[in-house]
């Protein structure tokens, strides 16, 4: 069966520090991968998605970047965090052929102080 791993679960970082969040998927190949951010009490906002290694599409221009160095690995990064980067970050995957099968990880709660 397929599983998605996302870590860390909680992170407190000072303003101006770098960020690296990692997401990996097991049990499948060539998944579509997504990074979402959820502000407190709000819906999910798509940040980046990838349909293959090295292929990244950005939905919202901001202080963040994403990379896909391996087929089942998706990384969200920042060189210098801002207070506004605080939020709940969710990684998700979907088989390319499935219209509905978005599966989310357990999320990383990031607080920038």
Question: In this complex, which beta carbon is closest to other proteins, that of residue 26 or of residue 59?
Answer: 59
- Six token digits for residue 83: 């207070």
Residue 40 near other proteins by CB under 8 A? no
How far apart (Å, rounded) are the C-alpha atoms in residues 24 and 21? 10
Q: Which stretch binds other proteins (CB under 8 A): 12-20, 69-77, 79-87, 98-106?
A: 98-106
Report the DSSP beta bridge partners of residue 109: 10, 88
The CB-side HSE value for 4 (13 A sphere, CA atoms) comes to: 23
Residue 44 near other proteins by CB under 8 A? yes
Q: Give the binding site for other proteins (CB under 8 A).
A: 6, 32, 34, 41-46, 49, 51, 57, 59, 88, 90, 92, 94, 99-107, 109
């Amino acid at each position: 069966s397929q599983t998605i791993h996302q870590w860390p679960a909680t992170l407190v970082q000072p303003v101006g520090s770098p960020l690296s969040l990692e997401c990996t998927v097991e049990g499948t190949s060539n998944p579509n991968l997504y990074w979402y951010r959820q502000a407190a009490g709000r819906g999910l906002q798509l940040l980046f998605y990838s349909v293959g290694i090295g292929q990244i599409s950005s939905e919202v221009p901001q202080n963040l970047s994403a990379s896909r160095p391996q087929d089942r690995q998706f990384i969200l990064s920042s060189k210098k965090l801002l207070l506004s980067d605080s939020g709940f970050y969710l990684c998700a995957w979907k088989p390319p052929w499935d219209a509905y099968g978005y599966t989310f990880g357990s999320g990383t709660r990031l607080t920038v102080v």
